[in-house]
Structure 1
Amino acid sequence: MTLPRLAVTAGEPAGVGPELIAQLAATPLAADLVAITDRDLLVRAAARCDLRITLADDDGSPREQRTPGSLRVRHVPLGAEEIPGRPDPRNADHVLATLTEAANGCTAGRYAAVVTAPLQKAAINEAGIRFSGHTEFFAEHAHANVVMMLASPELRVALATTHLPLGAVPAAITRTSLERTLRILHAELRGKFDIAAPRIAVLGLNPHAGESGHLGREELDTIIPLLDRLRAEGMMLIGPLPADTAFVPAQRARYDAVLAMYHDQALPVLKSEAFDRTVNLTLGLPFIRTSVDHGTALDLAGTGRADPSSLIAAANMALELVARRGTHLSSSPWGEERGEGPILRKTP
């Protein structure tokens, strides 16, 4: 058996991404890891982590095993040599080129999935390029409607809106947009996570889910009518639930995933209890994309002390999804039967 080829993008060159990739390469993960970034950047990152890694140019040939510490590279040159902790807008084109190569490679079948390290959105925007995030970039590239989900072995949270100012959220939540999001989420819970009849908890937008209209009418005018219509089609939808009580243990047993109305409504709960085991993935793409659940950690960049747990979890989830796509695995910490945590498969 050949190993699945995972494209791994390094994100912001001045952040912790390159160091996390060096640490990922040092694990016995049973994947053909292809780092899409600048070769010399990886060499410097490995040195900062006091790691020895072996780099080889990616020729696309199949690989049956990988020695820990080995890494293939699809070289994309930097615009300017990185200074850890100090993002440089001159590297914006480099970052976008790595994402484009990853997306094109997945579409063409060169990679089984893409795993992304964190990037610095501000540095790209400061270069004069409008950019709101990985999720939106891949959606536009694939001409797809997508949903952002963050998942730990204990909890899955999807978002009705992503990187929007809070004041823009209410107008962005329409029956059309919510229906599209719920249909994607429902289909991907069935297809990617092998949940035959997904139970989805839908949060209200307002405190106390609107308090029967006394704290806002979005629930009455938009959310409830849509949920009722989709329930009539057979979807198992719970809510709208008040966000302040939706995550207590007694409630969690009732659902397989949560749909939150905006970014900070639910993600603090998830990250506070499973920060090093949470994975960001994009639902609705024609390829598999997973990512870390944290930012560039500029204060840690260059120290070699950044924790690679989330990137390792993201790579493991990518492998799980690749395997399930072909064999529909029934037992997985990411599926209905939840385990102890991410699995590191040993190289044969």
Structure 2
Amino acid sequence: MSRFWSPLVHRLTPYVAGEQPVVQDLVKLNTNENPYGPSPRAIAAIRAEAGDGLRLYPDPHATILRQAIAVGLGVQADQVFVGNGSDEVLAHAFQGLLNHDGPLLFPDITYSFYPVYCGLYGIAYREIPIDAAMQVDVDDYAGPCGAIILPNPNAPTGSALPLSAIRRLVEAHPDQVVVVDEAYVDFGGESAVPLVADHPNLLVIQTFSKSRSLAGLRVGFAIGQRHLIEALERVKDSFNSYPLDRLAIVGAVASYEDTGWFEETRGRVMASRQRLFEALNELGFEILPSAANFVFARHPAHRGADLAKGLRAQSVIVRHFAKPRIEDFLRISIGTDAQCDRLIAALKTLVA
């Protein structure tokens, strides 16, 4: 606390990011990072750009990146917005599209940055409980509201809704913006981007951090009809005209265009997810179905906090949320098979 803080700062409860510890021989399965490196073409593009040109400002519109994404997704370049990670894109959406008189709706167990943004921008919100099976039911979102944001797949549960359910939600609220946060969609979800053309109230947000292995580069993007994208641009240009630097732009373009590397590495992650699911099941864990690059699991005979602490003692870290309904779950990022084997070996000593 400080007498120099504004009243807003005094009221804020900031988001707590996953740990980034520097520990030798650590198995780090707590922040949903991709265990495989980015496309070699992305690394080469970044190296080539790291020269005298860095004295110049980057393209404030990131034109070549928006064009690459547009070609890949079959949309127009002016229907694409890019920002400094999907968190910044989300922040602009909260400020520019989700701040209305009625409450913003989102699941009660979901990405914990959402209520933080609401506090920052003064947005009233209402959390909609997920069901006993830890699934989102779009019918629970019927009725008046200001706007809706829904992660698909959801985090930290990993559950995914079919495209038909997203369509039903968007069409049930034609006068409200519906944001679908697809940070994990490439690991088994069904993207809502094909719905954008016929639904002026839909904004879809994705990231390069997970399936493209570029969490350290900070690149995210949104797809929507032009009037929604213009709102994000107006917020951006009132905040920071250059959210993506020259290295991020060329690296992201090269990564996006390297579909072979993308398909290979995400396929390996999904195969390891199934392998981990089976190994956890053999140890007696209850595991939710996952369409993300993590699993959400609990053991009926052990507290989640105790398991997380025991794993840490063996240099394996996972994410534990000390929150009602999920306090006994562990969110486990999918690592390499060798990392997952270390995790399972450590868990065997804890649940025996």
| Interval containing the TM-score (normalised by the shorter chain) | under 0.3
- The two structures have a TM-score, normalised by structure 2, of 0.27
- The two structures have a TM-score, normalised by structure 1, of 0.27
